Amino acid sequence: MNANATATGTATAELAKSGSTGPTLAGRAAAPADGPATLPARLGDVRHDWTLAEVRALFALPFADLLYHAQSVHRRWFDPNRVQVSTLLSIKTGACPEDCAYCPQSVRYDTGLSREALMEVEAVAEAAARAKAAGATRFCMGAAWRSPKDRDLRAVIEMVKSVRALGLESCATLGMLTPAQARELADAGLDYYNHNLDTSEAFYDRIIKTRTYQDRLDTLAAVRDAGMKVCCGGILGMGESQQDRAELLLTLATLPAHPESVPINQLVQVAGTPLHGADALDPLEFVRTIAVARILMPRSHVRLSAGREQMSDELQALCFQAGANSIFYGEKLLTTGNPDVEHDRALFARLGLRAEAAETTAESAGPERARESAEGRACRAPAAAAGASAATASAAPVAADA
């Protein structure tokens, strides 16, 4: 028996043992004639009891089988030709006291990055309006802080209000939050808070020493308790092992609620940071990680995040095939480059992708969400249902429609 066959057998056995799969998981012999709807019932169900053995087994599947199952799960919950589009703005740049080994904004590394003070609220509102005009439905604001000071939080709250007033979803990433700060942001209308775990707990202290893994989990809990949606993922290509990638995804998939948004970043190597010169990750392993994330967290938006500028169009297409359904759109991420808007429009057109409306609707969702949405509509008051329709109708199309 060759090594691949052994790995496949082990992977299928692990998943079968857990009850997560049936005889069709290996995929090749059993691709259903009527499409992926006949996949075993539990594959694609939302679970919080994944085990490391199951996650490792998914990673060990043959590439084609893994992508087949990821795409099948994806279609159960999402329209596979819709991608959520966010724009990210650095509202305060550089001079961060933390020591994240990948980050050019850390004050500890000489990367030539110039510091910029917290932006004015009006300038942020103008940037958000431009992002909306370009087709973004979510506007994310990032500040290089360990945690926000009260004065800074007041300003960010005004920014959140101005973004919301434009009809955009709002997201912020400001470092660690106390429960009280999280409640203030939630009260101001902040929809999402981004706080990444970055990597596995075991590998974490090779990357960051100025805050602990538990600090990060505490902030995530504060965000969730305050009622905001969670955006949380990690960075690949920092020298971590596949075991670390599996453990990171396992931590995310066993949280009490899955993050609504799961950014999977590829390390962008910046000269002057400790991770500059790290061995590059096999691009197919990046795709594999996206596919496993999709299977583990079927309802979450998996975001193809930093590192897209270094990816070929073909690699990005494979990531979408593996279940990625969110991107950052715009010329710059916090401080590193991003594919330019025209290139993204062309790529969307070539792939037949369209931007997802701000709130996923029955019309743009997979069958599971459509069913949930129909049930929700039946229970909702008429005014709320009308509001949802209006939001959908006003969402700006991007790419293929543009």
Which residues of this chain interact with ligand SF4, rule CB under 6 A? 96, 98, 100, 103, 105-106, 144, 175
- Please confirm, yes or no, whether 171 is among the known catalytic residues: yes
Distances (CA, A) of 50 to 54, 229, 256: 7, 22, 12
- Minimal distance in Å, beta carbon 101 to ligand SF4? 9
Q: Rounded to 10 degrees, what is the CA torsion of 237, 107, 171, 400?
A: -50
- Please confirm, yes or no, whether 103 is among the known catalytic residues: yes
Q: Which residue number, 62 or 274, has a Cβ lying nearer to ligand SF4?
A: 274
- Minimal distance in Å, beta carbon 175 to ligand SF4? 6
Q: Which residue number, 262 or 295, has a Cβ lying nearer to ligand SF4?
A: 262
Q: Which residue number, 106 or 219, has a Cβ lying nearer to ligand SF4?
A: 106
- Minimal distance in Å, beta carbon 112 to ligand SF4? 15
- Minimal distance in Å, beta carbon 334 to ligand SF4? 7
Q: Which residue number, 39 or 235, has a Cβ lying nearer to ligand SF4?
A: 235
User: Which CB contacts under 8 angstroms, 24+ apart, belong to 369-372?
Assistant: 369/77, 369/78, 369/299
Q: Are 95 and 358 in contact (CB under 8 A)?
A: no
- Minimal distance in Å, beta carbon 177 to ligand SF4? 13
Out of 47, 56, 138, 171, the active site residue is 171
Token digits of residue 18: 């857990």
Q: Are 128 and 158 in contact (CB under 8 A)?
A: no
The 3-state secondary structure of 31-59, one letter per residue: CCCCCHHHCCCCCCCCCCCCCHHHHHHHH
Q: Which residue number, 231 or 347, has a Cβ lying nearer to ligand SF4?
A: 231
- Minimal distance in Å, beta carbon 282 to ligand SF4? 24
Q: Which residue number, 40 or 237, has a Cβ lying nearer to ligand SF4?
A: 237
- The span from the CA of 17 to the CA of 106, in Å, is 45
Out of 82, 140, 299, 319, the active site residue is 140
- Please confirm, yes or no, whether 303 is among the known catalytic residues: yes
Out of 56, 82, 245, 303, the active site residue is 303
**Residue of 49, 62, 55, 57 lying closest to 4 (CA atoms):** 62
Q: Which residue number, 96 or 388, has a Cβ lying nearer to ligand SF4?
A: 96
Q: Are 341 and 331 in contact (CB under 8 A)?
A: yes
Q: Estimate the crossing angle of helix 179-187 against helix 213-225, to 10 degrees.
A: 40
- Minimal distance in Å, beta carbon 40 to ligand SF4? 39
- Please confirm, yes or no, whether 319 is among the known catalytic residues: no
- Please confirm, yes or no, whether 140 is among the known catalytic residues: yes
Residue ranges of alpha helices (H) inside 278-340 are 283-296, 313-321
Rounded to the nearest 5°, which phi and psi values hold at 312? -70, 165
Q: Are 175 and 162 in contact (CB under 8 A)?
A: no
Distances (CA, A) of 2 to 7, 28, 56, 124: 9, 17, 19, 57
- The span from the CA of 241 to the CA of 307, in Å, is 19
Out of 47, 76, 96, 216, the active site residue is 96
- The span from the CA of 2 to the CA of 23, in Å, is 21
Out of 103, 232, 299, 319, the active site residue is 103
Residues noted as catalytic: 96, 100, 103, 140, 171, 231, 303
